[in-house]
Structure 1
């Protein structure tokens, strides 16, 4: 297994990094039966993976229509919220953003692969509140992100990519505590298989009928050892890891993994 995207080759700092892509490239797919993964979580831990605000159903329905237009129509259980009915057809998590009281807010989300947060924790939050953990986001990026949402055209699809390293190969990671508690159990020789490259491919597009925006998050995982045997890609990763800004390192807690990553880079064995 090798990572499908390599955003560590692009920047050593947090970047907005949104770029236009062709509408036909909007959804990547790559999972045979997403519902088989998502439905058990929805049934057993609904508050972790699903939340919706009052009045969001019209926007959810439009988002579902947009996905049906891309994938083709499919029957959905009538009792399911429209956004979740659409999300169970996709590997991606789906987030509905709508303008409420002058702020872009998260009004519905299906979150089966969230990185250290749950649906109930973030529902109703504004753009600034959602990105609060990102060091310096309010000062450096918030106004630009708000302008992007305001100026988003219906015919435009935007994409960005994000990455980190974790000692987990699970998509569903609602809490950091149990994962980080196990870091001390990993020996240097195990870093290639015990550490995972976690890459998020995100897209944003307007919902022209209701005026909201649909944000998608597709998570790809690969062992750190998947970089072994690829000298140029390994060198790019090493450069990104070692030159990451203090703000980025603090936000992603790279310090927790420094010794293990450096052990791997010194002797890069396949997973």
Structure 2
């Protein structure tokens, strides 16, 4: 490809994608609200920009074929804090991509778009929205906008409902939800290189034998995860107390995000759970 744009390039996940995406294009334009990284790749250009600045994004996307949108606040927060980067920012990216003539947006959606769904439900990629937080609601908004932009304007979108993406699974819940860093890269590469996608939703999950979701309806993406959280089961399964099946944090796909008060950090709750508190 001639040009790929990556938003959120300084984030925990976006930073993992810079080199793989640079290998797929003549030019990678990375952007973030933070300053440029010190290790720019030979074919990488960095533009510091705010996700609410439509004019800036329209300019930096000129000539881009693909936009990989990973920029956002990656946690629950008060609605007013999420409104700019997560809601308006998603509109900015899709509108700028359309105006620049891009072919596809690959979007970092989240499991929290369906976080109130039961873990035992066995969800496919066509599962309805069931957000657990304002953060999850922002992902539903962006997914619905992506579907609308495809049907009204022909701008393709692949929305990746990313689950627990860490170097290693951090707790017993991650035996179901883990997405390894390697599989994240494989998933994004598949979303970028598949010839035709239309509007597609895919679960961002590794090849965990306990996975509560399925990508079998979007096999055409060619995503073949290689890692399995079960390799850590012996370390993660022992627990000092029996899980409570009536606890929404245990039975809901969003885990602790399903029980935190709206506007309060779900990431902090996961860290407490991983620490055994």
Q: What TM-score results when the alignment is normalised by the length of structure 2?
A: 0.25
| TM-score, normalised with respect to structure 1 | 0.26
Bigger RCO (CA 8 Å, 6+ sep): 1
Question: Hey, which of these two has a bigger chunk of strand by percent?
Answer: 1
